[in-house]
Structure 1
Amino acid sequence: MTTFVLWTGVDNRGITSLNFASDSRISWANVNDKIEYGQKLFYSQKYPEIFGFTGDVTLCKSILPHILTYIDELDGISHCSSIMEKQELIYQKFEKFINNYPATQKNNFSIFYGTKYNTNLHAEFGVLEIVYNKKLNKLDKKNHILENKNKIFKIYDGSGKEIAQKFDYLWEKSDVGGYSRAVFGAFCDAINSNEDRQTNNIAQIVSLWRGRENPIVTAYAHHKKIFLNGQEITDTSLLIEKNISIRNHLFEICDHQGNRLVDAQKQPRPFKSQ
């Protein structure tokens, strides 16, 4: 399964970013059956569209490449003029695929679609949540237009949801609560705790930023190793060529050996809880 979180970054001018984070373990009913380096976050190469999922691995990893082909190769979403229009179009694509999927092979899942409209200070962000309930054989959706510009918006999901929420509560009530990086710090504490056996401690993160058009993918430093989308990167010169930032569990900027940069701002862990 998965531990997944999405959240917004905010400043005094509004929402600055929409961030998706996940662990990298793909597992099945038998917890001994697992893949440690599975990609769980997906994103467009041309447009501000990002995706994450929990639940049915086979279905979700089958449909997301089709959606991204439609977005990137066919420019199928480029004509949309609003967040709601994008969300409805993407939902229709998912619905058609899922309705044609064998009913006997469908299992519970959630797919999260993050999008942005405009790149300036007036940028709008939105999240579409698509949920399939196997017992009811029912597909539901929930549209989130992120209008609250002064408070961080968060959604947790997956087998590690309650564990992640527990750590989020501790960080939120501490002296460093209320910051976007605190959400990521709490998430990393949750996956590093090993409390959920279906989750591993390799994080992956992709974001939409207010002033940037395309998604921003971030590499993750863990125990002196560097991971991108769950995959270990041994030739870190490739990250330099692509100008991909590396962050650790405290969201501190790291070098290509996984050490915090000397001149990077140090981000403290919580030391005082309310």
Structure 2
Amino acid sequence: MTLIISWIGVDDKKDGKETSSIYIASDSRYTWGNAKKFDYGIKVFGSSKHPEIFGFCGDVLFPSTILGQIIPQIDNEILIGPNDGVETKNKRVFEFMKSSLDTYPKDFLANNTFTILHATRFKKEFKLFRTTFGKDKILKNKEVELPKISTKVYSGGSGKAEFDKIWEKWENPKHNNYRTSRAVYHCLSKTLKDIKDPRTGGLPQIVGLYRIENMRLFGIVENAKKYIYGKESSEDINSKSIEWRNEYFERMNPETLKILEGAQRQPS
């Protein structure tokens, strides 16, 4: 069923605290019961042309299929337009999901549930929405409140209990990374290293939004190797086209596999 989390970074501005970034991250494991697993499954998505990112947990087939349809339609401005506000964009995405689910074979979802996160931005306004399909078999959509502090804003999936337990360590005001956005990713990395839930595993995968530009895809450096969507990356033709991070969310040089020159080291 997986583990999915979302968190925000908040900066101090003249007019008060403002959200400066939002992230959605997950593990990389697809499972078939407890017997079969695949650790290169894509669970986070984003548009390269508009500030829209997504992630899911639970049933794999419907969310991965529907997000595979939504992203190209966002990229080509079929589903949303460049002047649509955050609520309008999410409403159109939700309506697209709902109309698709109405024609989806009900037997395929008989015992399955899922959650889809949608983070979006218009100008400087960030929003996060959660679409759920639960045991009542009704598709629901709700905004997730974003606080004025850098912290986790959502965790879900079968690995949630283990993540939330470990997260208590970072929620301690005495912790070096208390109230920092990097703390959430560090907690995710540690959780996946020690996870007991057989349906959660593999390397982390992450997408994010900043105040400018669109989806940021992050590569992961782990044990002197590079990974994208859980799979080791040996393609070095254009490694610098994305950002690379280690377990402490420090920026990494994809060529040397060391901390990027000038990048700030983070306390563990």
TM-score with structure 2 setting the length: 0.91
5+ residue gaps, structure 1: 270-274
Mapping for residues 190-201 of structure 1, pairs under 5 Å: 190-201=191-202
The one-letter code matched in structure 2 to 1:185 is: H
Give, in whole Å, the separation in 1 of the partners of 2:200 and 2:114: 16
Contact in 1 for aligned 2:28/2:41 (Cα 8 Å): yes
Mapping for residues 1-274 of structure 1, pairs under 5 Å: 1-13=1-13, 14-29=18-33, 31-78=34-81, 80-106=83-109, 107-118=112-123, 123-133=124-134, 135-144=135-144, 146=146, 148-150=147-149, 152-173=151-172, 174-210=175-211, 212-240=212-240, 242=241, 244-256=242-254, 257-261=256-260, 263-269=262-268
SS at match of 2:248: coil
Kindly state the Cα deviation for residue 153 of structure 1 after the two structures are TM-superposed.
5.0
Kindly state the Cα deviation for residue 196 of structure 1 after the two structures are TM-superposed.
2.1
Give, in whole Å, the separation in 2 of the partners of 1:7 and 1:152: 6
The percentage of aligned residue pairs carrying the same residue is 32
5+ residue gaps, structure 2: none
Contact in 2 for aligned 1:248/1:258 (Cα 8 Å): no
Kindly state the Cα deviation for residue 224 of structure 1 after the two structures are TM-superposed.
1.6
Q: Using a 3 Å threshold, how does the CA distance of structure 1 residues 11 and 74 change in structure 2: closer, same or farther?
A: closer
Kindly state the Cα deviation for residue 74 of structure 1 after the two structures are TM-superposed.
4.0
SS at match of 1:267: coil
The one-letter code matched in structure 1 to 2:91 is: E
Contact in 2 for aligned 1:83/1:145 (Cα 8 Å): no
SS at match of 1:234: coil
The aligned counterpart of 1:272 is none
The one-letter code matched in structure 1 to 2:120 is: T
**Between Structure 1 and Structure 2, how many residues are aligned?**
259
CA RMSD of aligned residues (A): 1.7
Kindly state the Cα deviation for residue 62 of structure 1 after the two structures are TM-superposed.
1.0
Contact in 1 for aligned 2:9/2:149 (Cα 8 Å): no
Q: Which piece of structure 1 moves more, 109-118 or 137-146? A: 137-146
Kindly state the Cα deviation for residue 5 of structure 1 after the two structures are TM-superposed.
0.5
SS at match of 1:60: helix
The one-letter code matched in structure 2 to 1:167 is: I
